[in-house]
Chains A and B, each alone.
Chain A
Amino acid sequence: MSSNEITLNNIEIDTASLSAKERAELEKAQPMWKMVLTQFMEHKLAVVGAVIITLFMLIAVFANQIQAITELDPDAQNVANRYLAPMTTAQVGQDVRETEIERFITTHPEAADKVQKALVEKGIVQVAEADAIYELAARDVKEAVTALTSLQVAEAGDLISLFKDFETFHLFGTDELGRDVFIRLVYGTRVSMGVGVLVAIASALIGLLIGSLAGFYGGVIDTVLMRITDALLSLPTIPVLIVMAAIDLSKLPVLKAIVSTSNESVFKMVIILCLFSWMTVARLVRGSILSIREREFVLAARTLGAKDSTIIVRHMFPNVIAPMLVSITLGVGESILFEAALSFLGLGIMPPMPSWGNMLTNAQELIYQAPFLAILPGVLILLTTISFNYLGDGLQDAIDPKAIRR
């Protein structure tokens, strides 16, 4: 930044005190990315947005690790603990405890035997040895764990960790099936962000292809492609998406191979959203290519005998990447909103796979019992889309040379 602070009047004084190395640094032209970065950093909210997005991306990527650390299962249902308030600890039901203990006794018969003996000897439980551990399990989990530790039996270690699992901590409470909301939100981040990013990138590629074809060749190709683009742009998105989402894609012969049953709804979502979100990029690319087409370097390339594909890919694409980046960023936010809306209507990502949208599906009926269930996923959607929109805004300001002059 020091180079910016030098004004014309004191330039001699300033540079005189500089070393040769620093002087060379000043005289060197700034690379493009550095200028963009400097400009971008000035847009405070865009930087905040970038930080939030990075955070969510990390959560999405490391969802499995988060699950391993917290030992929570997004699909584990617990009917006894439905609608728990945030920040509560829940204890597993007796039936689950008994089956777990039975499994422990059959797999570790010697350890179980020692623990049982010790329990009866110390008088912690007053029942037969075979029932000792079960009797302990009927008590409060914390009490049972302290009792087990007080035994000072080396083999009790596995049993203690088993008992500790009977108590789960729910940071954001539980949903209508007693599943932990926190870990479902973590996995929902993966699904929602994944769909959003995938759709934005794929539709940008479609738009790039169609826009460059229309812009480069002009004439009939341009007219036909642009009429289709305009027609699709004027459609009300949600009704069309609802119709598309309601159909059974496997009835279409082409898609039968791609769509597998396990994550059919995710692929379906990506395909449908891609079909209706490439238009803005196509128009943008067509516009820039139309103006680039008349430039001298394209003429030069053509005179040198370059093929059409070479001219488009090597000479034109580098010129449209910057505005496309902005449009991809804005597209992610939009796709996340559409995915959430469709999943909310029950037509998008299918349960039990969690997504921010389908976590809100039941929320509407639950607003009396558990309003926080309706609030949390929405806050995440809002936070993510607003971050992407600010990031896009910041990128636009940074890339657009007109904005620098302002």
Chain B
Amino acid sequence: MTTFITRRILQTLAVIVILSYVCFYLMSLMPGDPVDMMVASNPKITAEDVARLKSLYGLDQPTYKRYWNWMTSITQGDLGYSRTYRVPVQELMGPRLWNTFLLSFASLVLSLAIAIPLGVISALKPGSRTDYFMNLFSFAGISIPSFWLAIVLIIVFAVKFPILPAGGTQTIGEGPQSFWTELMDRSVYLVLPVLSLSIQQIGRFSRFTRSAMLEAMRNDFIRTARAKGLSRSKVIWQHGFRNALIPLITILALSFSGLFSGAILTETVFAYQGVGKLVYDSIIGNDYNVAMISFVISVSMVLLMNLVADIAYGFADPRISYQ
């Protein structure tokens, strides 16, 4: 078990390092480096100035050397400086990470709370009308473009019936408030983003819950439990659902990457100040330090979640052993 965990951690680290190098290289392929931007905004700059600036920022060095310099400063805790926001990257990341965490967590909880009962109900009556509509709903959920759903939600709930804010993270200029009013304020802004992010997850989760549950209810021990006279709910939840949990954990682990991908689109549409929007804005605005850090952090978070899920299997199912 310990060797398995160490090996997985090392693998994850290797993937992060390789990926950050690839990303660093790709960023150098983006049109225009920081000095090019300065040249564009200042017509008086001379060729010597450009050369001097490039060597000052180390832009004349090959990519691997620049990557090495960047990595050394990261390990020393210096994440660089954001050109767009004019603050060190550290100060930028904290609240953004928290906002994205709130959004993803709320959406995950909501989608699980809806999808699991839906999946179980339709698995208990396969082929029924309920099953049919659940199937239709989850297919629609998987197929719907989340950014479009977000726009439609804005049109309905913010334009036609203005009951919810069309975008943002919290009301601006309210000043310091008590904990509860702030919580209420923030959750109002979360409703539409969470909803648009959850639909796809609900579709995916409910389909998997259904098939996992169908599989679990086919087991012989379910018949035994029924024959023994156990109550219906006990058979379903304690004997059936518990065995359907393991494939569900796999899907849950794989859903983190989808959740984060969705968060970028949702945050962009709703102007929600999270990491996803930061990744997008910084790449569009050529803010290299921020782009690199936010990209590496977001990928690492997803990989870390996969790692946690891998380890969690061992506890969820004693039948799984790690060589």
Flag if B151 contacts A341 (CB, 8 Å): no
Q: Which of B139, B144, B306 contacts A390 (CB 8 A)?
A: B139
Task: Determine chain A's interface SS by DSSP, over half rule.
Answer: helix
Judging by beta carbons under 8 Å apart, are A374 and B152 in contact? yes
- Near B by CB (< 8 A), chain A positions 156-197 give none
- How many A-B residue pairs lie within 8 Å, measured between CB atoms? 130
Report yes or no: B139 in contact with A378, Cβ–Cβ below 8 A. no
Contact of A244 with B by CB under 8 A: yes
A341 x B159 contact (CB < 8 A): no
Compute how far the CA of A252 lies from the CA of B31 in the bound complex, rounded to whole angstroms: 12
Q: Are B302 and A236 in contact (CB under 8 A)?
A: yes
Q: How far is the CB of B268 from chain A (nearest CB, A)?
A: 7
Q: Do A252 and B268 touch across chains, with their CB atoms under 8 A apart?
A: no
B264 touches A239 (CB 8 A): yes
Task: Please give, as numbers and ranges, the residues of chain B lying within 8 Å of A371 by CB-CB distance.
Answer: 155, 159
Q: Are B151 and A363 interface neighbours, CB within 8 A?
A: yes
Q: Which of B19-65 contact A (CB under 8 A)?
A: 19, 23, 26-27, 29-31
A153–B302 CA distance with the chains assembled, in angstroms: 75
Q: How big is chain B's contact interface, by range?
A: 35 or more
| Closest 9 pairs (CB-CB, A-B) | A378-B148, A238-B261, A385-B143, A386-B143, A247-B29, A236-B257, A236-B260, A248-B31, A251-B29
A246-B283, A375-B152 are known contacts; what are 19 more A-B pairs with Cβ within 8 Å? A233-B254, A235-B19, A235-B257, A236-B257, A237-B261, A238-B260, A238-B261, A243-B291, A247-B26, A252-B29, A340-B148, A344-B148, A345-B265, A360-B148, A363-B151, A374-B151, A375-B155, A378-B149, A389-B142
**Can you identify 13 A-B contacts, CB atoms within 8 angstroms?**
A237-B257, A238-B261, A238-B265, A239-B264, A243-B283, A246-B30, A337-B145, A340-B147, A344-B265, A345-B265, A367-B154, A382-B148, A389-B143
On B, residues with C-beta under 8 Å from A are 11, 15, 18-19, 23, 26-27, 29-31, 136, 139-140, 142-149, 151-152, 154-155, 159, 254, 256-258, 260-262, 264-265, 268-269, 276, 279-280, 283-284, 291, 295, 298-299, 302-303, 306
Residues of chain A touching chain B, judged by Cβ–Cβ distance below 8 Å, are 45, 227, 231, 233-240, 242-244, 246-249, 251-252, 333, 337, 340-341, 344-346, 360, 363-364, 367-368, 371, 374-375, 377-378, 381-382, 385-386, 388-390, 393
